[in-house]
Amino acid sequence: MSPRYRLRWLLEQGSPRYALRLNARRGDPFARLVGSRAGLRDPYPYIEQIRERGRMYRGPIGWATADYELSRAILRDNRFGVFGMNGFELPAVAKRRIAAAPLPPNPVEAPSMLQLDPPEHTRMRKSVSAAFTPRAIGRLRDRVESVTVELLEALPSDGSADLIANFAGQVPIAIIAEMLGFPQESRPQFLEWGDAASPLLDIGISWKAWRIAAESMMQMDGYLDRHIAQLRAQPGEDILSSLVSAGNLDDNELKATASLLMGAGFETTVNLIGNGVVQLLAHPEQLARLHKEPELWPQAVEEVLRFDAPVQTTARIALCDTEIDGNKMHKGAVVVLSLAGANRDPKMFENPDRFDITRANAKDHLTFSSGIHTCLGASLARMEAIHALRSLFDRFPDLSLAQTPERRQLFTLHGYSRMPVNLGHRATAVV
């Protein structure tokens, strides 16, 4: 890539990367959470160190909190807006240098609705919300069930598999690809692009990771140009065809929306399924109860979402001078919200470090955010995970880990890259 892209990385990611490393050596818990391998493997000890600093404390990037009440309040407060890497207050010359190295439409920059505040966010979200109504999700149930059966039948007969590559990653990509009108043969390519681009949700990523992500997005951009042109000529019954036909979004908005739905529709669910497998295998008494009381599966998935959140953090930026919990913030101040920390706040959840599928208020977690940016596909992710996990353990009741699963080396998206398992006895039917 040209030198101007390396300069953009340095301004957006390189400078925070160096600041985080310096502060990690000084013992700052947020910097250690983001910048250490130990923090990526097991973030919760560092999150508790953040909590020990108080309800909100000033870190190397901005303010940080693991407090449930504060996090929920900020997510719902119109004095705060969404924050991306280009939200830092930079000199005008730095902004010009960033603009000189543009990236194609993607999930982490406007016009992605993830990075928009009202009224633009309202317009973009309204354009796709019909695809995620309870009725629309209900219509997808049969397809989720059939895809799950197909994948379980296709698992190797020798009894060993990588559960991420062969199952957890395949369920959500099949559904969201169909919803967007992508052909089946394109799924492996989108998995590759999504895996490459996911580090962009983190802060302080390396030049190599940023370059690979940018190159992948450029390749995806070309694919989406061709796909949208094809849908204009031959529209289908998918979401993207409807958006193209409606004509309410321009091409950049269409591509940003498509890439966001693809990424969000995949990343949360693959991590949710993988994390669910590990937690249930680590708590066999609770898995045994699910076999006896399958009506508890929805509650179990909520507890996985709370206990080992597949999306660990988000951030907001103050849109005006304001005060939160006695802390005065100037316009432009950044607040990092540890969703995973909020989900384990002892003031909200009794014995928060205990995994309990019968927890009465598990659904109060903040994994899907709150307020106007609540995850549009939350109901779909829940439905996919409930059916995938229940069907997996019904079909393979003796499932066990063959090796220690490998964590993804990401801060925001919390899940596994590999999960070698022994499938054990294959039951004859999926309940």
Residue 91 has pLDDT above 80, yes or no: no
Can you state the angle between helices 170-179 and 187-197, rounded to 10 degrees? 110
Q: 270, 172 in Cβ contact below 8 A?
A: yes
pLDDT in tens, 297-317: 999 999 999 999 999 999 999
Higher pLDDT, 126 or 35: 126
| Confidence at 431, pLDDT banded by 50, 70, 90 | very low
Residue 321 has pLDDT above 70, yes or no: yes
Q: How far is CA 427 from CA 278, 373, 392, in A?
A: 20, 41, 10
Query: What's the average model confidence in pLDDT over 399-416?
Result: 94
**pLDDT in the model for residue 41:** 83
Measured from the Cβ of residue 118, the count of other Cβ atoms closer than 10 Å reads 11
DSSP for 240-273 reads HHHHHHHT-S-HHHHHHHHHHHHHHHHHHHHHHH
**pLDDT in the model for residue 39:** 75
**pLDDT in the model for residue 37:** 75
Tokens of 178: 């169909």
Residue 87 has pLDDT above 70, yes or no: no
Residue 324 has pLDDT above 80, yes or no: yes
pLDDT in tens, 149-158: 999 999 987 7
Q: Output the average pLDDT for the chain.
A: 92
In sign, the C-alpha dihedral spanning 382, 387, 392, 393 is: positive
| Confidence at 430, pLDDT banded by 50, 70, 90 | very low
Best CA proximity match to 113, nearest among 104, 126, 100: 126
**pLDDT in the model for residue 89:** 63
Query: What's the average model confidence in pLDDT over 347-351?
Result: 97
Query: What's the average model confidence in pLDDT over 44-56?
Result: 95
What's the topology of domain 3-422?
Cytochrome p450 (1.10.630)
**pLDDT in the model for residue 216:** 94
Rounded percentage of the chain residues whose pLDDT exceeds 90: 74
Query: What's the average model confidence in pLDDT over 410-429?
Result: 90
Residue 252 has pLDDT above 90, yes or no: yes
Residue 1 has pLDDT above 90, yes or no: no
Beta strands (DSSP E) in 7-105 are 57-58, 63-65, 80-82
Residue 389 has pLDDT above 70, yes or no: yes
**pLDDT in the model for residue 131:** 85
Higher pLDDT, 97 or 325: 325
